[in-house]
A and B are shown apart, each in its own frame.
Chain A
Amino acid sequence: MTEKRTAATGSTLELSGLSAWYGEARVLSDVDLTVAPGEVVTLVGRNGAGKTTLLRSVMGLHRQVQGSVSWDGTDLGKASPDKRARAGIGWVPDDRGIYSTLSVAENLQLPPVTGSDAWSVEQVYEQFPVLHERRDFPGTKLSGGEQQMLAIARVLRMGSRLLLLDEPSEGLAPVIVQRIGEIIRQIKDQGVSVLLVEQNVKFASTVADRHYLLAQGRVVESLDNDSFQERTTELLEYLGM
């Protein structure tokens, strides 16, 4: 839909040797992972494999980490979450993170615009008419699916060039999951990258280019979508999903 089909400004996310802890418990071990511009990459693994912690570490929300997270060629080091967000990383948490004290429109307009490819509010409303209809409602009065749309639209309006999507399909009706798949393919076409945490393997294989399989905080396999589809049953059995 945007005219600018940017050949992406060339921002790559690169994790190398990333480990994370909760107190004494190690939840990620030496994770190496890259997301190239315009690439959709999923993290697949059962509950407690460290997927959400990985996203939180990229966002700078989880601080007990070692190893490096680099974005756009620079090591993010100890950069604060707000700095990372303004550098173009968009966070869509698993609870969708919609503010109940803000209206739908305010939820959308809260974050600062950080990228030149940021969607305008009009663009968002054109793409998601329901958000326009409900723009004066409190954010949490929307249905689960609408809240998910709002959470994604919010970071697109910021102009984020990498979306961290934490289980966007969770608890949603198939038709809405399908719609979210369409959105992901559409933003990918605009050169936005997506790092997707997903339990719904079928859904993951319809949108992703590559997959990382995570078990007990380690990357146990990294493969492209074709081989992922071929070996789905075997891999899921291995992961115990």
Chain B
Amino acid sequence: MIFGVLGVVNFSHGACYMLGAMIAAILLRDTGMTFWVALVVVPLVMFLIGVLMERLLVQWLLKLDPLYNFLLTFGLTLFTVDLVKRQYGVSSLAYPVPAGLGGRVSLGSVELSVYQIFAAAFSVLVCVVVWLVLTKTRVGMIVRASTEDAERSRALGINVARWVTPVFGFGIALAGLAGVLAAPTRSVNADMGSFFVIILFAIVVIGGLGSILGAVVAGFLVGLVEAYGQGYVGQFSQVLIFVLMALVILFRPAGLFGREEAA
């Protein structure tokens, strides 16, 4: 979405995901902020960070080749990761499963933790809300139109530039939210985002750059491949994701739901 509306390739989602988890963990340690409060506060903080990033850095490179912003956000990622390492070390911070969501349940033959079910349901809820905003509101309509063709939208009287900052901030906020959600299930440390970005990259390529539905479908697909892969081939499952990606590119170079670039 960010790519479509702004023409920015944002490579910093992994770092923002990590920051989201780190901020939640630090707030818990230092202020005792509970998971539920963090679920609201962290995305807000991340939104502000996103807005600052866009205003201070990203916007200056918008007129140039998207490659420059790719490099910028990649650089920011390395910078943020090292900054966090310097400040908090490489060891993980503890983030307990929130009260009331502990325990496990078995569904048929699989046993899942209550928290995993909660996280999955919450993610679906967030997806549905984002989808509703995109399809049912005027803001969503403007975002879709500008994703498809920003120049044309400007020529139809839409101040596309005004939407760039909030949409960018929103993307960063979502990455932060994902970090908070992941915190209780993973080790929270500076490197937790690095593999995430690679997976994200695969999801975007499989789904088609700039396609919202594509990203959702590819997300589930990649999740399934990884989960089943882990069951059958263990460590090899991450390779499977890229086998899937290669297959998709082979048959549909623009991704499952991507539009072919007009010549």
Contacts and interface: CB of A to CB of B under 8 A. Distances in A.
A210 to B, nearest CB: 25
A193 B209 CA distance: 40
A213 to B, nearest CB: 26
Contact of B149 (A81, A97, A155, A158): A97
Contact of A86 (B141, B147, B157): B157
A100 interface: yes
A61 B157 contact: no
Interface string A104-146: 0010011110100000000000000000000000000000000
Contacts of A102: 141, 144-145, 148
Interface residues of A, number: 23
A154 interface: yes
Contact of A114 (B149, B157, B161): B157
A110 B145 contact: yes
Contacts of B145: 99, 101-102, 110
Contacts of A86: 157
A99 B148 CA distance: 7
B148 A111 contact: no
Interface in B6-24: none
B144 A111 contact: no
A109 B148 CA distance: 16
B159 interface: yes
Contact of A101 (B144, B151, B159): B144
Interface in A56-96: 59, 61, 80-82, 85-86, 91, 93
A91 B148 contact: no
Contact of B148 (A61, A80, A101, A114): A101
A101 B150 CA distance: 13
B148 to A, nearest CB: 5
B236 to A, nearest CB: 38
B155 interface: yes
Give the contact-size bracket for chain B: 10 to 19
Nearest to B140: A106
A155 B157 CA distance: 10
B156 A158 contact: yes
Contact of A91 (B141, B142, B147, B155): B155
Contacts of A61: 151, 154-155
A86 B157 CA distance: 5
A103 to B, nearest CB: 9
Interface string B221-259: 000000000000000000000000000000000000001
Contacts of A106: 141
B158 A82 contact: yes
Interface in A222-237: none
Contact of B155 (A59, A101, A109, A112): A59
Contacts of B159: 80, 82
Nearest to B211: A101
Most buried by A among B142, B152, B161: B152
A76 B156 CA distance: 16
B203 interface: no
B157 A158 contact: yes
Contact of B141 (A80, A100, A110): A110
B151 A81 contact: yes
A93 B156 contact: no
A91 B157 CA distance: 10
B202 interface: no
Contact of B157 (A82, A93, A97, A101): A82
Contacts of A82: 153-160
Contacts of B157: 82, 85-86, 111-112, 114, 158
Contacts of B160: 82
29 contacts: A61-B154, A61-B155, A80-B161, A81-B151, A81-B154, A81-B155, A82-B154, A82-B157, A82-B159, A82-B160, A85-B157, A85-B158, A86-B157, A91-B156, A99-B144, A99-B149, A100-B148, A100-B259, A101-B147, A101-B148, A102-B144, A102-B145, A102-B148, A106-B141, A110-B153, A110-B158, A112-B158, A114-B157, A158-B156
Given A80-B159, A91-B156, A99-B152, 13 more contacts: A61-B154, A80-B154, A80-B161, A85-B157, A93-B155, A97-B152, A101-B145, A102-B141, A111-B157, A114-B157, A154-B156, A155-B156, A158-B156
Ranked 9 nearest A-B pairs via Cβ:
A85-B157, A111-B156, A81-B154, A91-B155, A82-B154, A86-B157, A81-B155, A111-B157, A82-B159
